[in-house]
Amino acid sequence: MLRVLFVGDVYGKPGRRVLASHLPTIRSQFHFVIVNGENAAGGFGLNRESFNIITRAGADCITLGNHAWHHKEVFDLLPDPRLIRPLNLPLGTPGNGFRRFDVIGDTGRSERLTVVNALGRVFMEPSGNPFTALDELLTRPDLGAVFLDFHAEATSEKAAMGQFLAGRAAAVIGTHTHVATADTRILPGGTAFQTDAGFTGPMDSVIGADPSGPVQRFTTELPHRFGVKEGAAELNGVIVHIQDGRAVQIERYHYEEEGL
């Protein structure tokens, strides 16, 4: 059995801080840790410093999303086997949309885990069809348990992906909306599902941003500068137990900083 922790979008300095302080204290409970790092550097994208902080904290791999290309440094990082960019991008896009890992589980045996990152298309920038991309990926041999981070805006698109992969993937976990949903379940055939894992970043924010910018923008309908909210942060994710390629358990994980 594999115990896998998935941590939702790490956002800016508060997100990096709570991950770096908390993940090491729980890391030994898991065989494998996946962290979405698409907002790690200042709220947009991933740079070398944030890559190093996330991996040193205990992440075995980092997934991305619609902000994947925000920092040029990400192109130097893409050859690293721990970094996974969205799958459904044009042929020739650098990096990998999925990676196979051999993980030592609680039996002491090595078990294959394939981590995939894909982008949704509803209310998002154009990308390839994530459903057909996953269908094609699943024809490949030796994937073992497939764990998808589906980075999408629309609840319906994420729910449809869960149903589409039910019994074919071990987990379909949504990211991007930064708010954890309460629909944690195992779909028929052993697919762990949650519409959104929630994010890892500042509380009392507007999905990570200091409220002043977004509130001004909504009230005046003029553009405003967005900054990362300071102060106490939360960490959100899910824990999935996988046996023989199928999920047998999923639960939400939530931690909040205190005294900041």
Residues at the contact surface with Fe ion, assessed by CB under 5 A: 9, 39, 65-66, 176
In the complex, least distance from residue 148 CB atom to Fe ion, rounded to whole angstroms: 15
In the complex, least distance from residue 66 CB atom to Fe ion, rounded to whole angstroms: 4
Would you say 38 is a known binding-site residue? yes
Name the residue with the smallest CB distance to Fe ion.
9
Q: Which is nearer to Fe ion, 111 or 234 (CB)?
A: 234
Would you say 178 is a known binding-site residue? yes
On the 0-12 / 13-18 / 19+ scale of CB atoms within 10 A, 196 is buried
The DSSP letter of residue 95 is S
Q: Which is nearer to Fe ion, 39 or 50 (CB)?
A: 39
DSSP-derived secondary structure for 130-171: HHHHHHHHTTSSS--EEEEEEE-S-HHHHHHHHHHHTTT-SE
Rounded CA-CA distance 177/18 in Å is: 19
In the complex, least distance from residue 140 CB atom to Fe ion, rounded to whole angstroms: 26
Alpha helical stretches, state H, the chain: 12-26, 48-57, 74-77, 130-137, 155-165, 212-220
Would you say 151 is a known binding-site residue? yes
Q: Which is nearer to Fe ion, 58 or 201 (CB)?
A: 201
Would you say 176 is a known binding-site residue? yes
With residue 99 as reference, give the H or E element that holds it: strand 98-104
Choosing from 22, 67, 70, 71, which is the catalytic residue?
67
For 206, other C-beta atoms within 10 Å of its C-beta total 17
Would you say 36 is a known binding-site residue? no
**Type of residue numbered 37:** G
In the complex, least distance from residue 180 CB atom to Fe ion, rounded to whole angstroms: 13
Q: Which is nearer to Fe ion, 9 or 60 (CB)?
A: 9
70 is catalytic: no
Q: Which is nearer to Fe ion, 60 or 196 (CB)?
A: 196
In the complex, least distance from residue 9 CB atom to Fe ion, rounded to whole angstroms: 4
Give the strands of the sheet with 98-104, arranged side by side: 98-104, 110-119, 145-151, 171-175, 191-194, 185-187
Which residues sit in the known binding site for Fe cation? 9, 38-39, 66, 151, 176, 178
Catalytic positions? 67
Which residues sit in the known binding site? 9, 38-39, 66, 151, 176, 178
